[in-house]
């Protein structure tokens, strides 16, 4: 599977929005490792300092395919300029902090919703052929504004397949849960807290999905290779209990329970029972298929072991059959977050 994916992406000119973020850096690193002869790799983001820092890691003289492009997804003209000669887009730019979304909601709408539409229109106006947009588990039955903006973004990308005309343009979405070790995620937060001698947990029963950056990147590669357009892809990943994460990080510290914050769920879900009628198991991933389901199923019947999910199916972090143990969480922290980590 990786072989075909690599050939496909290595023959592309790729632009990634939000390219200096946690996912962006991991994706860029993976492309450069798997595709040393990639034609072009454009890092599109709005932060000049992060681009400067990323240039130290991936200098243009060593990686001649790389281009650093300052710009904001709120600026459609700038996006259109950046997309000249690009055929593959990964849309990772977003504002994503839940409390900030509650405090400054329209800023999130401008980036996550209007920005998404700008990306779509710029792709329609240029010669882009493949688009994968990153979503979040918070977009499924959202209860906070961040999740609501990402649900809007998902719907915009899926609906864009209706207006592409006869050209081979495919836009799809990947949706997954907490990325282990990404900026703002719970594990680095707990590690920093533990170094000061405390751990604060919202609720002892809270659960979350868990995915590594590496698996998230592989999923985007897979989507670029295999999507026909209009799907939401969801990985089969384990859950963890927040209390177990705290124990994995700092077994010697008794946690303080602070209560669930506004806009926060006790458990996340990635497929609701209302989505189940359009949801399929396609082997490595689940897929929520769009209105062209017959065409999609014909596609996935070739080379994929696919089956329909039950009508009452839902994919939630608390009822997930796969849960990480404390030791497994600890091993993953050492592998994906900090190779020198030791429990506190």
For 201-232, the pLDDT digits (tens) are 999 999 999 999 999 999 999 999 999 999 99
pTM: 0.93
Are 255 and 246 in contact by the 8 Å Cβ rule? The answer is: yes
pLDDT per residue, tens digit, the chain (344 aa), is 333 444 477 889 999 999 999 999 999 999 999 998 899 999 999 999 999 999 999 999 999 999 999 999 999 999 999 999 999 999 999 999 999 999 999 999 999 999 999 999 999 999 999 999 999 999 999 999 999 999 999 999 999 999 999 999 999 999 998 899 787 788 999 999 999 999 999 999 999 999 999 999 999 999 999 999 999 999 999 999 999 999 999 999 999 999 998 889 999 999 999 999 999 999 889 999 977 777 777 888 777 788 889 999 999 999 999 999 999 999 999 999 889 889 88
Whole-number pLDDT of residue 306:
84
Angle at 173 between CA 171 and CA 176, to 5 degrees: 165
Q: How far apart are CA 142 and CA 139, in angstroms?
A: 5
Q: Tell me how crowded residue 79 is: count the other CB atoms within 10 A of its CB.
A: 26
Are 262 and 203 in contact by the 8 Å Cβ rule? The answer is: no
Whole-number pLDDT of residue 1:
36
What CATH number labels 2-177+213-236+271-313?
3.40.50.720
Q: How far apart are CA 20 and CA 4, in angstroms?
A: 27
Per-domain residue ranges of the chain: 2-177+213-236+271-313
Catalytic site positions: 138
């Amino acid at each position: 599977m990786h072989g075909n994916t690599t050939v496909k992406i290595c023959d592309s000119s790729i632009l990634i929005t939000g390219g200096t973020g946690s996912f962006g850096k991991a994706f860029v690193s993976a492309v450069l490792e798997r595709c040393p002869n990639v034609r072009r790799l454009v890092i599109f983001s709005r932060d000049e300092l992060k681009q400067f820092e990323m240039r130290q890691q991936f200098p243009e003289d060593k990686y001649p395919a790389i281009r650093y492009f300052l710009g904001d997804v709120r600026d459609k003209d700038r996006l259109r300029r950046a997309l000249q000669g690009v055929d593959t887009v990964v849309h990772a730019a977003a504002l994503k902090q839940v409390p900030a979304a509650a405090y400054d909601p329209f800023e999130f709408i401008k980036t996550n919703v209007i920005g998404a539409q700008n990306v779509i229109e710029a792709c329609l106006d240029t010669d882009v052929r493949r688009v994968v947009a990153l979503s979040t588990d918070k977009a499924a039955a959202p209860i906070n504004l961040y999740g609501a903006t990402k649900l809007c973004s998902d719907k915009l990308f899926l609906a864009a397949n209706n207006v592409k005309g006869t050209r081979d343009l495919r836009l799809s979405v990947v949706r997954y849960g907490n990325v282990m070790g990404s900026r703002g995620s719970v594990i680095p937060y707990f590690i920093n807290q533990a170094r000061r001698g405390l751990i604060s947990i919202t609720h002892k029963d809270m659960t979350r999905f868990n995915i590594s950056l590496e698996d998230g990147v592989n999923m985007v590669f897979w989507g670029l290779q295999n999507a026909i357009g209009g799907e939401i892809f969801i990985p089969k990943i384990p859950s963890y209990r927040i209390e177990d994460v705290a124990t994995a990080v700092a077994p010697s510290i008794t946690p303080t329970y602070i209560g669930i914050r506004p806009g926060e769920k006790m458990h996340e879900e990635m497929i609701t029972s209302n989505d189940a009628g359009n949801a399929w198991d396609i082997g490595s991933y689940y897929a929520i298929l769009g209105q062209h389901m017959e065409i999609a199923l014909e596609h996935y019947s070739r080379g994929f072991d696919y089956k329909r999910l039950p009508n009452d199916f839902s994919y939630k972090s608390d009822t997930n059959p796969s849960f990480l143990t404390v030791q497994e969480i600890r091993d993953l922290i050492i592998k994906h977050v900090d190779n020198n980590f030791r429990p506190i």
